[in-house]
A and B are shown apart, each in its own frame.
Chain A
Amino acid sequence: MAKGIRDKVAILGMGCSKFGERWDMNAEDLMVEAYVEALADAGIETKQIDAAWLGTAIEEQHVGKSAVPLAVALRLPYIPCTRVENYCASGTEAFRGAVYAVASGAADIALALGVEKLKDTGYGGLPQRGRGTVNNMTWPNASAPGNFAQLAAAYRAKYGSAPEDLKRAMAHISVKSHDNGSRNPKAHLRNKITIDTVLNAPMIAEPLGLFDCCGVSDGSACAIVTTPEIARSLGKKDLITVKALQVAVSNGQEAQHNAWDGSYFATTRIAATRAYTEAGITRPRDEVNLIEVHDCFSVTELVTMEDLHISPEGRAIHDVLDGFYDADGTVPCQIDGGLKCFGHPIGASGLRMIYEMYLQMQGRAGERQRQDLPRIGLTHNLGGFPHQNVCSISIVGRYGE
C-alpha cells in the first residue's frame, strides 16, 4: 500500500452552518455562514487560500453546475476551484481534494466546502432524479429508504434475527441520536424521542418507519487545511491531523455477482480496512474513540458498526442495545446527533462529521463534549444504494499520536 496521508495535513480551521429548514437562506448564504466561521477559526484571510473544492450532489436544486458558485459566494481570488460529486460522499470528497492538494505541495492552504439546499424541492425526502438513460429502463423507481430498508431483510435472513429484536435495536439508535442532537445547537432536530415513538411511527419502507429515517435539511460545512508546519507557524497548537482518507466505490459486484448477501456494505468493509492500515490502527474497537457514521437510516448505522470492524459480525444489535455506542458508552456514535438530527444536506454531511471530530478533540463541543477528549475519530459516508455505492472514510486525530 502507498505510504498514505497520515499526519501530512492539519486542519487549520472549520465551520458549520446551523442545519435545518433554512427558508430564509440560499445555498450561497449557507456557504458563507460555514466559511466565515472556518476563516475566523483558521485565523487567515481569503487571499491566503490557494485552492478550493466544492462538494455538492444535487446542484440543479440550488447553485447549479461547476465550482463558480463557490468562488462567487466566497469571493475567492481566482484560484483553482473544483466541484466534486460522489453521491453522499461528496463532502468528504471535497475534503480529500483539499487535503491531497496540500499533501502534494501544490497548495499551502486549501479549502473544502460542502453544501446542499434540499428544502426547495416542495416535499420531504430526497428528490428522486433520473439515474441515466439505461438505468432508468431497468432499475426500480426506488426511494432512498426503500433501497436501504433492504439491508434489514437480508440481515434478518442471514443471522436469524427476530424482526422485533432488529427493530428495537434500530429504535435505540434513533433515540440515542435524538438525545445527542438535543444537546447540539446546530442540529436540525433537537427533540428527544422515545422507543415507542419510533416503533409506532408510520411505515416509510418496510421495516423503516418515519423515525428510522434521517431528516431532510439545508446546511453547509467547511474545512481549511494546511501542513502541520504552516499550522504551527500560524500559531496553532494541539494540531488535529488527517490520519487516513479512503474511498471505495462499488464495481458492480454486489449488484451483479452472487457473492454478496445483501446484509452489509462491501465498500465500507474494504474502505475501513484500508483506512485503518493507512492510520496505523490494528484494533479499531479499542483504538477508535469516536465515530460519526452515515446514519441515513437506523439500519444503516447498525450494519455499519460491523462493517467498520468495531462490532463483530452479527453482534451489532447487542452492542447497540448495551449502550456501547451511546454518548457515554465506549465508542460514541453520532455524539452530535448524526444525520438523524442534522438531516442530510448531501454535500455538507461529510464535512459536518469531521467538524464534530475537530471540536471534540479540542474540547470545544460544549454541552455534548466527551470528557475523556477523544484522540482518534472516524467519519464515514455512504452514497448510492446498498448494492451499488460510494463509501468514504476519514480518520482524524491528534498530530504525532
Chain B
Amino acid sequence: MTTGILSFGAYIPRLRLQRRVVAEAHSWFNAALKSQGKGERAICNWDEDPVTMAVEAARDCLTGIDRTSISALRLASTSFPFLDRLNAGVVAEALSLPEDISSLDVTATQRAATSALAEALGRTGRTLVAAADQRGARAASPVEMSAGDGAAALLVGEGEPVAKLLASATRSADFVDHYRTIESGFDYQWEERWIRDAGYMPIVPPVIARCLEKAGLKAADVTFFCMPAVLAKVANSVAKAAGIADAAVVDNMHAVLGETGCAHPLVMLVATLEKAKPGDRILVVGFGQGADALLFEVTPAILSLPARMGVKGHLARRREEANYQKFLAFNETIDLERGMRAEADKQTALSAMWRNHGTVTSFIGGKCTTCGTLQFPKSRICVNPNCNAVDSQEPHPFADRIGKVNSYTADRLTYSPDPPACYGMIQFDEGGRWMMDFTDVDEPDLKVGMPMRMMFRVKDVDSQRGFRRYFWKAAPAAAPQES
C-alpha cells in the first residue's frame, strides 16, 4: 500500500501588517528595527486564532474529500488557545469529522508539525494533519517582525497520493535557541549566530543525509528544499552543507507572510506542492530541539486534484493593514479602554454549549423530512408555516454552503474589538437563514445579495474567565484560485 499526501490546503489570514509601520512606531526606541521594516506579515483578525486557522486550512485541504474516510486528526501548534481542552477536538467538531476519530494536540516545539506529519504517515487509515500558529510577541521584539500567522493542512495515509513519502529521519536534541514558559507568554531568544553555527549547521545536515540514504537518493535528486529559517541564508547554508542545489531552496515567504511558527514547514510544503510537477522530490525539514526531515516524490495524481485556495490563493486574498495599534489591540498587547459595553458578561453555559454543539460548533441545521424545508438551527417543529411537522428534521450541514446577504448594517454602537461590527441576515438559496456576524469584510463592499461563505471564528471572549466561544461568521465568498 502506498502512503503519502492525499490532499493539501492552507489558510493565511487576510490582514497583512506592514512592517514599515511597526519599525516606525519603534524608531524612537530601537532604530535598528528599521532594517527589518520591509514587506508585510500576515496577522490574525481579532476573531482568529490557531484553532480557527486550522479549521480553514483543513477545509481547504478537504476540498472534494469524503470526511467520513478520515480516521485521525493531529493538530500542531505552539500557541493553542486552550491548555486543558483538546484544541483538536474543537477543530474536529467544526469540520464535522466522524466521532470515532483519534484526535490529538501536538505542541511545545517548532517541529511539532513535521513530527505530527511523520507520525501520521506511519499510521493506518487516513490522518488529517493540521498546523497553525499565532505566535505572541512583545512589542519591538524581533519575533513581532518575523512571525506571521497562518496554517496548513495535509491529508495523509491510504489512498492515491499526490506525493508519496520516500523516507524520513529525525533527531532529538535539547538545543534551546528560544523558549517560552507558561508564565512568560513571549519567546526569550539566544544569539542568532549561535543558533546558526551551533544549531542548524551541526544538527540538520546529518538528518538530511540519513533521510536521503534511507530513500536511496542523493542530495542532487532534491527538487525543492523546504526549511523555514528566519535568519537570512541559513536555509541556503544548510542546503549547501547537505549538497542540495541552491536553486532548490524554497522561498520562506518572509516578504509576504512571515514565519508561521511550527506550521511553517507545512505552509512551505503546501506552497511547493501547488507548483510541483510529477516526479519532483520535495524535502521538508522542521527544526526545533532537533530536526525532522521528510522526503516526498510528487505523483501524476497531483494533476487531477480539484482547485483550492492554498497558500497562493490565500496570499492573494489580502488586505493591507497599516494600523499597528490595531495589531497591538487585537493581541491585547496594549490595554485599551473598551468602554462599558465591553463589560457585558460573556459567560458560557458549558452544559448548553455541549447540548447544542452540533448547532454551534458544526453549524448543522435541519432538513424537514416531511416538506423538505432547510432551516437553522434544527428544531423540534418545522418552521415552514404550511408544515409545522414535529420531530421531522434530520441534520443538515450549512458550513460549506454559500449564502447571500439579505440585510446588513455596520454598527458603531455595539462593542466590537474592530468596529464597526458588520452583521446581517444570511439566506441560503436552498433554504435556511440566520442573522450572523460578518467577518473579513469592508463596510463599503456590503450589499444586499452579495454571496458569502461561512468561516469558523471566535464569537467572543469571556474576559472574566478567559473562555472563548467559537461560531460561524459570514465572509465574502471568493472563488478558489486555479491551482
Residue numbers of A with Cβ under 8 A of B are 121-123, 125, 128-130, 133-134, 136-143, 145-147, 149-154, 156-157, 202-206, 208, 251-253, 255-259, 261-262, 385-387
B residues in contact with A125, CB < 8 Å: 413
Whether B421 pairs with A262 at a CB distance below 8 angstroms is: no
Contacts of B414 in A (CB 8 A): 128, 141-143, 146
- B469 touches A (CB below 8 Å): yes
For residue B359, CB closer than 8 A to chain A, the reply is yes
Indicate whether A150 sits within 8 Å of B352 (C-beta atoms), given known contacts A255-B433, A256-B434, A257-B433. no
Q: Which interface residue of A122, A251, A258 has the most chain B CB atoms within 10 A?
A: A258
Residues of B within 8 A of A386 (CB): 407
A253 touching B383, Cβ below 8 Å: yes
Could you list 24 examples of A-B contacts with CB < 8 Å?
A: A128-B344, A130-B345, A137-B459, A138-B359, A138-B360, A138-B436, A138-B459, A140-B437, A141-B344, A145-B411, A145-B413, A146-B413, A147-B409, A149-B411, A150-B407, A153-B409, A153-B424, A154-B407, A205-B409, A205-B410, A205-B411, A256-B432, A256-B434, A261-B406
Query: CB of B109 within 8 A of chain A?
Result: no
Note all chain A residues with C-beta closer than 8 A to B360.
137-138
A255, B385: Cα distance in complex, Å: 13
Flag B361-402 by CB within 8 Å of A: 1 or 0 each. Answer: 000000000000101110100011100000000000000000
Q: How far is the CA of A252 from the CA of B383 in the complex (A)?
A: 7
- A150 contacts B409, CB within 8 Å? yes
Asked whether A140 and B406 contact (CB < 8 A) given A125-B413, A252-B383, A255-B433, the answer is no
Answer yes or no: B348 CB below 8 A from chain A CBs. yes
User: Which of A121, A204, A205, A262 makes the CB contact (< 8 A) with B406?
Assistant: A262
Contact pattern, B 337-361, Cβ under 8 Å of A = 1, otherwise 0 = 0011100111011001100100110
Instruction: Kindly state the separation between the CA atoms of A262 and B408 in the bound complex, as whole angstroms.
Output: 10
Q: Does B186 sit at the interface, judged by CB under 8 A?
A: no
Within 8 A of A (CB), among B414-472: 414-416, 420-421, 423-425, 427, 431-437, 443, 446-449, 459-460, 469, 471
Contacts of A255 in B (CB 8 A): 433-435
For A153, the chain B residues whose CB sits under 8 A away are 405, 407-409, 424, 446-448
* Residues on the B chain within 8 Å of A142, using CB: 411, 414, 421, 423, 435
A140/B344 contact (C-beta < 8 A), A203-B412, A205-B412, A256-B376 known: no
When the two chains form their complex, are residues B425 and A150 in contact, meaning their CB atoms are under 8 A apart?
Answer: yes
Instruction: Tell me the bound Cα distance from A121 to B436 in angstroms.
Output: 27
> In the assembled complex, which residues on chain B have CB atoms less than 8 Å from the CB atom of A256?
375-376, 379, 383, 432-434
By size class, the interface of chain B is: 35 or more
Question: What residues of chain B lie closer than 8 Å to A262, measured between beta carbons?
Answer: 406-407, 425
A205 touching B413 by the CB < 8 A rule?
Answer: yes
- The answer to whether A204 and B413 have CB atoms under 8 Å apart is yes
B469 touches A137 (CB 8 A): yes
**B345: A residues at CB distance < 8 A:** 130
Is A138's CB under 8 angstroms from B471's CB?
Answer: yes
Report how far A149 CA is from B375 CA in the complex, Å. 24
Query: What's the minimum C-beta distance from B398 to chain A, rounded to whole angstroms?
Result: 12
Chain A nearest Cβ from B75, distance in angstroms? 22
B406:A146 contact, CB within 8 angstroms = no
Contact between chains at B436 and A258 (CB < 8 Å): no
Given A143-B414, A251-B383, 11 additional A-B pairs, CB 8 A: A140-B423, A146-B414, A154-B425, A157-B449, A205-B409, A253-B383, A256-B375, A257-B383, A257-B433, A258-B427, A262-B407
B430's nearest neighbour on chain A, judged by CB, is: A258
Cα A125 to Cα B412 in complex, Å, equals 12
Q: Is the CB of B421 within 8 A of A141?
A: yes
Q: Which of A138, A153, A208 has the most CB of B within 10 A?
A: A138
CB distance from A182 to the nearest CB of B (A): 26
**Closest A-chain residue to B355, C-beta based?**
A134
B409 and A387 contact, CB distance less than 8 A: no
A261 to B449, CA, bound (A): 11
Interfacial chain B residues near A129, Cβ < 8 Å: 344
Docked pose: A65 CA to B318 CA in angstroms: 51
The closest CB in chain A to the CB of B429 belongs to A258
The digit string for B308-344, where 1 denotes a CB below 8 A from any CB of A, is 0000000000000000000000000000000111001
- B residues within 8 A CB of A205? 409-413, 420
Q: Given known contacts A150-B407, A154-B406, A253-B385, is B460 in contact with A141 (CB within 8 Å)? A: yes
CA distance A143 to B373 in the complex (A): 30
Specify which chain B residues have a CB less than 8 angstroms from the CB of A154 in the assembled complex: 406-407, 425, 448
Nearest to B366 among chain A residues (CB) is A256
Which of A145, A202, A205, A252 gathers the greatest number of chain B CB atoms within 10 Å?
Answer: A205
With a cutoff of 8 Å between Cβ atoms, the chain B residues found around residue A147 in the complex are 409
Q: List the B residue with the shortest CB-CB distance to A129.
A: B344
Chain A residues in 8 Å Cβ range of B432: 256, 258
- From A140, A141, A156, B448 is in contact (CB under 8 Å) with A156
Closest residue of B by beta carbon distance from A146 = B411
Complex CA gap A154/B425 in Å reads 10
Are B406's CB and A141's CB within 8 A? no
Which A residue sits closest to B428, measured CB to CB?
Answer: A258
- Give the docked Cα–Cα distance between A208 and B449 (Å): 21
A143 to B435, CA, bound (A): 13
A137 to B345, CA, bound (A): 13
A256 to B381, CA, bound (A): 12
> Which A residues lie within 8 Å of B415 (CB)?
128, 141
Q: How far is the CA of A253 from the CA of B385 in the complex (A)?
A: 8
The 5 nearest A-B residue pairs measured at CB: A146-B411, A150-B407, A157-B448, A140-B423, A149-B409
- Residues of the B chain whose Cβ atoms lie less than 8 Å from the Cβ of A385: 435
